[in-house]
Amino acid sequence: MADLDFASPSSNSSIHPLRNGSGPWQLHWPQKMPLLRVSGTVSCDVVVVGAGITGAMTAEILTRAGHSVIVVDRAFPGRGSTAASTAMLLWEIDTPLVELADLYGFEKASAVYQRSLLAVSGIADMVEQLALPCQFALRPSLYLAPAGEGAGDLAQEHAARARAGLPGALLSREELIGAFGFDRPAALISPGSAEADPVLLSHGLLQTAFRGGARLVADEAVRYDWDDDAAYVALASGASLHAKKIVLATGYDMPDFVRSDLHSIVSTWCVSTGPVPRNAIWNDRALLWEADDPYLYARLTQTDEIVVGGEDEVIEDADERDKKMAEKSATLARRMRALWPDRDYTFTSSWTAAFGQTEDGLPLIGPVPGARNILAAYGYGGNGITFSFMASRIIAELVAGAPRPWFDDFALDRGQPST
Ligand SMILES: Cc1cc2nc3c(=O)[nH]c(=O)nc-3n(C[C@H](O)[C@H](O)[C@H](O)COP(=O)(O)OP(=O)(O)OC[C@H]3O[C@@H](n4cnc5c(N)ncnc54)[C@H](O)[C@@H]3O)c2cc1C
């Protein structure tokens, strides 16, 4: 195994998801990762294509389970959506429980929410057990009613969550102002979410997997094939990998043979400050997000920077996304100022990137229809990293040949929900 610089990935792809600016995590990027050079055909138990947070979690658990694993990425690991992420590890799904229950019924919707809650505590356990230095901390989340609207929708959501046995409390305007200083008609305060540095987290997982025997190949997956017993991936270099299972963890960039009526690519924008003084740090360092469309989300880093994101739009074209940078940054800054006025902070960085989302807010995880021995792990939406964890655990059970009925909730061919 050679210790090579990843500065010149083999990719000829024009896709650069993290564009036009820099997130707070890049300083932590290690310069080197151990790479395996392959030629001809190399075999292993599982190939994981994509070394973002989803691929890293999947590679780690599969390696720990005793499988021989090769991870393939066409760029430096973690430089996809993962590097751009604000890494609010929410168990609350983009689709409110009330809406998810309208789509799939209350029982199924509440089971999905419960699994999401368990996923965040699963991430906490994993970080502790593997001793991953990734600035992980449990945080409450504060889900804010939009300014100028009543508390009605949030009260309904709170009642549904209480019925589902989910933790949290509804704060009135006065309680919210008293506890946090945010002036909104109402908010849901919920324990059990978390934050991390997503690049450190994914690199820590990859390094753990490498120590367990996983190997990293710097190449682009260009073609897939399969038969009854195995799957194959051809790489841009001309080499190919042959495995019992191939896991696709390529972020929003899905190969053509993976289709979902529910999937779209969404662009999002972010701004961040440098370290802010004490008066700009809100209580409990809560993770903030709004019940609004487009929404705003915000968190503090452990070095006291305020990071704000949102203004999401379904835009695939990176140039179109870049052109909106100035306008979107100004809007985010203005919205944050309206929410958190009269404190000393200035936004100094901005960036934009893409991630995959689905119409119902649930991820696409499991076997790829029509492609034997190929599994997909796409952790979508604003709480993508929570779903990445869920995906890695589902994939591990599928590789072990232990499917469970509830995996179907995330099936790639689940089709359009009935409204
Ligand atoms: C600005 C922003 C803010 C976000 N905020 C949050 C948040 O607060 N909380 C949260 O949970 N989620 C958030 N998300 C979503 C979350 O970041 C993503 O869901 C998550 O990072 C997806 O990880 P991934 O590993 O699936 O994909 P990626 O990180 O995109 O990784 C995919 C990898 O696959 C590689 N790849 C793709 N195609 C090929 C190929 N053909 N061959 C080889 N390699 C390939 C890419 O190079 C890349 O490294 C945010 C996303 C963005 C963009």
Q: Which residue has the tokens 């590679």?
A: 59
DSSP state of 40: S
The reply to whether ligand 1 has any atom less than 6 angstroms from the CB of 366 is no
The reply to whether ligand 1 has any atom less than 6 angstroms from the CB of 268 is yes
Element (H, E) at 367: strand 364-367
CATH for the stretch 138-192+262-358: 3.30.9.10
Range 407-413 average pLDDT = 95
pLDDT for 8 equals 37
Tell which atom from ligand 1 comes closest to the C-alpha of 75: 47
DSSP state of 281: P
pLDDT for 171 equals 97
Residue that wins the pLDDT comparison between 193 and 356: 193
Tell which atom from ligand 1 comes closest to the C-alpha of 15: 47
Phi and psi for 348 in degrees, rounded to 5?
-120, -15
378 burial (CB, 10 Å; 0-12 / 13-18 / 19+) is buried
Residue that wins the pLDDT comparison between 312 and 167: 167
pLDDT for 24 equals 81
Range 300-326 average pLDDT = 91
Phi and psi for 257 in degrees, rounded to 5?
-75, -5
pLDDT for 29 equals 66
Residue 394, pLDDT above cutoff 90: yes
Residue that wins the pLDDT comparison between 90 and 149: 90
9 confidence band (pLDDT: 50, 70, 90): very low
Residue partners of 46: CB distance under 8 A and separation at least 6: 62, 67, 68, 69, 70, 243, 244, 245, 246, 247, 399
DSSP state of 184: -
Residue 3, pLDDT above cutoff 80: no
Residue 145, pLDDT above cutoff 90: yes
Residue 175, pLDDT above cutoff 60: yes
Residue 340, pLDDT above cutoff 70: yes
Average pLDDT, the chain: 91
User: Which tens digit of pLDDT belongs to each residue from 102-119?
Assistant: 999 999 999 999 999 999
Ligand 1 centre distance from Cα of residue 83 (Å): 7
pLDDT for 21 equals 60
> How far, in Å, CA of 398 to CA of 401, rounded?
5
Nearest CA to ligand 1 atom 35: 50
> How far, in Å, CA of 35 to CA of 219, rounded?
10
Residue 140, pLDDT above cutoff 50: yes
Domain boundaries, given as residue ranges, for the chain: 15-85+199-259+361-410, 138-192+262-358
Check whether domain 15-85+199-259+361-410 has CATH 3.50.50.60, yes or no: yes
> How far, in Å, CA of 42 to CA of 215, rounded?
12
Lowest mean pLDDT among 53-57, 128-132, 263-267: 263-267
Tell which atom from ligand 1 comes closest to the C-alpha of 79: 49
> How far, in Å, CA of 147 to CA of 44, rounded?
54
Closest CA to 132 of 204, 82, 202, 198: 204
Ligand 1 centre distance from Cα of residue 19 (Å): 13
